[in-house]
A and B are shown apart, each in its own frame.
Chain A
Amino acid sequence: MSLGDSSTELGKVRGLGSAREGGEHWISERVSSLALLLLGVWLIASLLFLPALDYATVREWLRSPLGAVPMALFVITSFYHGLDGMKVVVDDYVHEPGNNFALNTLLLFVAVGGASFALFALAKIAFGG
């Protein structure tokens, strides 16, 4: 049993579990949770310690490297972790293979699309005029 492959040998042979796979997914969800522990506390603390939440102050913060870079990491990691978590919920409740695939694919598209819009907005703030 190594990192990223946490199924037991017996479990692999039998193809157990509601999703028949998922060792890597399980590890990935936990690694991203550790990143979000740091980034989430950073985001809340930053919003609290900003002198104000008006347009000029927030933009100035997100134009600086120490604002823009952790925010980009937060956007990527939170969409990634949210997608990981929603997949667990879908796999738990939607058992019919076609519906399961359709819903997981829809979630993937929405997550990648949402993250792309958020990153575009952040890039425009950081690099725009």
Chain B
Amino acid sequence: MAEQRERPLSPHLGIWRWGPGMAASIFHRISGGALTVAGLAALTWWLLALAKGADAYGDFLAIAKTWVGVVVLIGLTWAFFQHLFSGIRHLVMDTGQNFDLRPNNAFALLTFVGSVVVTAALWFYLLGAAK
């Protein structure tokens, strides 16, 4: 292996100026981490409760319907759609597209608008249907 020099290692949050592109990038990472840790834990818990029986599933639903549970689930829904939309943006950029400044910023902003709108619509429907 060639001689190793000290190289700059990513990411340097402290020296970046906030803008749509870097915000979409860092929220991609944050939402991915949240989905992996909290999302997969919730998915596994849900499946284990379903497997155990009606009482265990009832306990799961009771916790999910507390205000803390609903806030966590809304947060995970937002993280899911934010990660999905900014993931699509990353896949588009992986093909070498969307690197001009204005369209790139516009796509980055759209991921946030899209995730908030879809999450809000979905939960208005869910909370409306629950009544």
Which residues of A pack against B, CB within 8 Å? Answer: 13-16, 18, 30, 33-34, 37, 40-41, 44, 48, 53-55, 58-59, 62, 75, 78-79, 82-83, 85-86, 89, 92, 95, 114, 117-118, 120-122, 124-125, 128
Q: What CA separation (Å) do A65 and B77 show in the bound complex? A: 26
Q: What CA separation (Å) do A91 and B33 show in the bound complex? A: 14
Q: Is the CB of B33 within 8 A of A125?
A: no
Q: What CA separation (Å) do A41 and B83 show in the bound complex? A: 12
Answer whether residue B27 sits at the interface, using C-beta atoms and an 8 A cutoff. no
B83-99 interface mask toward A, CB cutoff 8 Å, 1 = contact, 0 = none? 01001100100100000
Q: Considering only CB atoms, which chain A residue lies closest to B33 in the complex?
A: A89
Q: Is the CB of A15 within 8 A of B44?
A: no
B1-33 interface mask toward A, CB cutoff 8 Å, 1 = contact, 0 = none? 110100101110000000000000000010011
Q: Is the CB of B10 within 8 A of A92?
A: yes
Q: Is the CB of B47 within 8 A of A118?
A: yes
Which residues of B pack against A, CB within 8 Å? Answer: 1-2, 4, 7, 9-11, 29, 32-33, 35-36, 39-41, 43-44, 47-48, 50-51, 54, 57-58, 61, 80, 84, 87-88, 91, 94, 122, 125-126
Q: What CA separation (Å) do A86 and B30 show in the bound complex? A: 11
Q: List 10 A-B contacts (CB under 8 A).
A: A13-B2, A37-B84, A59-B50, A86-B33, A89-B29, A118-B48, A121-B44, A121-B47, A121-B50, A122-B51
4 residue pairs, one from A and one from B, having the closest CB atoms? A82-B36, A121-B47, A121-B51, A124-B51
Which residues from chain A contact B36 at a C-beta distance below 8 Å? 82-83, 85-86
Q: Is the CB of A30 within 8 A of B94?
A: yes
Which residues from chain B contact A55 at a C-beta distance below 8 Å? 50, 54, 57-58
Q: Is the CB of A82 within 8 A of B32?
A: yes
Q: Is the CB of A37 within 8 A of B88?
A: yes
Which residues from chain A contact B126 at a C-beta distance below 8 Å? 48
Q: Is the CB of B9 within 8 A of A79?
A: no
Q: What CA separation (Å) do A95 and B9 show in the bound complex? A: 9
Residue among B11, B35, B88 with most chain A CB within 10 A = B35
